[in-house]
């Protein structure tokens, strides 16, 4: 596995790791209590929340192509044509699920163990702080699940389901979540891929995008 995300420090053994995953799921559900009328982002110049100019499906599919373009610019040979065809097929097969309505909520966009402060309590762990809010916006809260899912899958696979269960018990997942997951996870892996290729970090030169992403985009099915 390529180590591109951190973990909460201070856990002692498997039970503690699962306890932390439960706490992170609860904490994310609480963070997602912040909602607005329309998806958008904060503009510091105008000092207000600006709505996105396109619908959610168009924005998300556009993000796939934007990050793909950045990856090709960073190192074209790392994402060959056959990998692009694989990526496009995933999006086209599932994009209709992006049109299912949702309540726009605050999306941290980098919610993962090493951006969360936790404390021990009598019953286990709880989140008492979240850092690194610079990438936040208002959108589909499901977008916030994928980075923690992939992080847990890489570091403590048994924590994936406890994390999701703790979240879903407090904030129900809407229909189509299993179809949207591969698209959101695909975008997240494109983000990491672009950064790694541009800076020559993390990935061996012979590795190609599909080999990096497929274990988490397709083979990992956290909602099954």
User: pLDDT tens across 137-179, in order?
Assistant: 999 999 999 999 999 999 999 999 999 999 999 999 999 999 9
Q: Which tokens belong to 18?
A: 């699962």
Q: What is the CA 197 to chain-centroid distance, rounded?
A: 19
Is residue 111 scored above 50 in pLDDT?
A: yes
pTM attached to this predicted model: 0.92
So what's the pLDDT on residue 123?
76
pLDDT over 70, % of the chain: 94
Q: Which of 114, 154, 105, 152 is nearest to 132 (CA)?
A: 114
Encode pLDDT of 11-58 as tens digits. 566 778 899 999 999 999 999 999 999 999 999 999 999 999 999 999
Q: Please state whether beta strands 124-130 and 40-43 pair in parallel, antiparallel, or not at all (unpaired).
A: unpaired
Residue with tokens 């044509």: 81
Give yes or no for residue 125 having a pLDDT over 90.
no
- Evaluate if residue 223 carries a pLDDT over 90: no
Q: What is the pLDDT of residues 61-93, one digit of tens each?
A: 999 999 999 999 999 999 999 999 999 999 999
Average pLDDT over residues 100-122: 92
- The per-residue pLDDT for 3 is 37
Mean predicted lDDT score pLDDT of the chain = 92
- What does the domain layout of the chain look like in residue ranges? 14-219
CATH fold, domain 14-219, is Aminoglycoside 3'-phosphotransferase; Chain: A, domain 2 (3.90.1200)
Quote the pLDDT of residue 34. 95
Q: Where does the pLDDT of residue 1 fall: very low under 50, low under 70, confident under 90, or very high at 90 and above? A: very low
Query: Tokens representing 136?
Result: 């936040």
- Residues 86/182, Cβ–Cβ less than 8 Å: no
């Amino acid at each position: 596995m390529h180590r591109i995300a951190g973990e909460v420090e201070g856990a002692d053994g498997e039970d503690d790791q699962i306890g932390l995953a439960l706490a992170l799921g609860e904490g994310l559900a609480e963070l997602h209590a912040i909602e607005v009328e329309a998806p958008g982002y904060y503009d510091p110049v105008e000092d207000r929340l600006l709505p996105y100019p396109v619908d959610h499906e168009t924005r998300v599919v556009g993000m796939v192509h934007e990050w793909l373009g950045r990856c090709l610019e960073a190192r074209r040979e790392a994402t060959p044509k056959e990998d692009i065809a694989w990526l496009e097929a995933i999006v086209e097969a599932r994009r209709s699920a992006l049109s299912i309505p949702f309540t726009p909520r605050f999306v941290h966009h980098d919610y993962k163990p090493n951006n969360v402060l936790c404390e021990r309590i009598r019953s286990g762990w709880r989140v008492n702080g979240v850092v690194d809010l610079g990438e936040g916006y208002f959108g589909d809260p499901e977008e916030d699940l994928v980075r923690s899912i992939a992080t847990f899958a890489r570091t403590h696979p048994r924590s994936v389901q406890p994390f999701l269960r703790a979240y879903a018990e407090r904030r129900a997942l809407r229909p189509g979540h299993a179809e949207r997951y591969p698209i959101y996870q695909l975008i997240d892996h494109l983000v990491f891929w672009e950064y790694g290729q541009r800076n020559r970090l993390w990935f061996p030169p012979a590795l190609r995008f599909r080999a990096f992403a497929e274990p988490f985009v397709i083979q990992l099915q956290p909602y099954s």
